[in-house]
């Protein structure tokens, strides 16, 4: 079953659904989609990629990075074992005159930005459609002590709409610590 969350953010939506909205001031309600909105498509921030190997197939407009791949852009970081990048333009004959149109990560995937983290088995960033899909046996989103678990996360980076699907034989799970997003978690004074 798909759970559509067309609100400002995944964790904020879960808090609202549980009736805890008063625990989160609007300024602290930074959303998952906001954190990753520029990842891979922000032309103002450079993208830095590190890996053990790189294989470029200019004829196919692809570049494959393998082995402890780390991608950074602004506050966002992607870590995975294999990353395939699709680009428009050419990497041959001098400076790269191209732009990334899609990225596909496989192996254990970890995406982090500011205080939010998402993990899964594979991820796809479609820059033209401004869409992130993170999937796997277990997709885990966390912000501090707050955790949301499913099997497939789809984020429309333009609109902020988030869909989280439950596993075939399971349910979407949400754990929220009251007051945790405004720095007044249960154990602090």
The answer to whether residue 185 is domain-embedded is no
Distance CA 141, CA 155 (A): 12
Range of the domain at 11: 2-179
111 pLDDT exceeds 50? yes
The answer to whether residue 186 is domain-embedded is no
The answer to whether residue 42 is domain-embedded is yes
27 pLDDT exceeds 50? no
The answer to whether residue 187 is domain-embedded is no
Q: What is the pLDDT of residue 169?
A: 86
* pTM, rounded to two decimals: 0.72
Of 44 and 102, the one with more pLDDT: 102
Tell me the two tokens of residue 143.
């912000």
The answer to whether residue 72 is domain-embedded is yes
The answer to whether residue 109 is domain-embedded is yes
- Most confident option among 11-20, 42-51, 83-92, 175-184: 42-51
Of 13 and 65, the one with more pLDDT: 65
Distance CA 112, CA 164 (A): 18
Domain count, the chain: 1
The answer to whether residue 34 is domain-embedded is yes
Tell me the two tokens of residue 138.
């277990």
CATH of the domain at 11: 2.60.450.10
Distance CA 38, CA 127 (A): 10
**Burial environment of residue 84 by CB neighbours within 10 A (0 to 12, 13 to 18, 19 or more):** middle
Work out the mean pLDDT of the chain and round it to a whole number.
Answer: 74
The answer to whether residue 184 is domain-embedded is no
**Burial environment of residue 185 by CB neighbours within 10 A (0 to 12, 13 to 18, 19 or more):** middle
Of the ranges 88-92, 138-142, 153-157, which one carries the lowest mean pLDDT score?
A: 88-92
At 119-134, the pLDDT tens digits run: 999 999 898 888 999 9
Distance CA 55, CA 100 (A): 16
Phi, psi of 108 (to 5 degrees): -60, 130
């Amino acid at each position: 079953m798909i759970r559509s969350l067309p609100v400002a953010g995944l964790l904020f939506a879960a808090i609202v659904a549980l009736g805890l909205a008063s625990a989160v001031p609007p300024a602290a309600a930074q959303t998952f989609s906001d954190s990753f909105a520029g990842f891979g498509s922000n032309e103002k921030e450079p993208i830095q990629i590190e890996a053990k190997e790189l294989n470029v197939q200019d004829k196919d407009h692809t570049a494959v990075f393998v082995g402890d791949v780390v991608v950074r852009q602004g506050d966002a970081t992607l870590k995975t074992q294999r990353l395939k990048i699709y680009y428009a333009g050419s990497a041959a004959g001098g400076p790269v005159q191209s732009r990334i149109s899609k990225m596909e990560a496989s192996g254990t995937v970890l995406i982090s930005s500011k205080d939010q983290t998402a993990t899964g088995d594979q991820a796809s960033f479609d820059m033209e459609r401004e869409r992130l899909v993170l999937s796997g046996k277990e997709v885990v989103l966390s912000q501090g002590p707050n955790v949301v678990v499913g099997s497939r996360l789809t984020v429309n980076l333009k609109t902020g709409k988030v869909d989280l699907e439950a596993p075939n034989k399971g349910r979407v799970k949400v754990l929220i610590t009251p007051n945790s997003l405004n720095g007044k978690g249960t154990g602090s004074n």
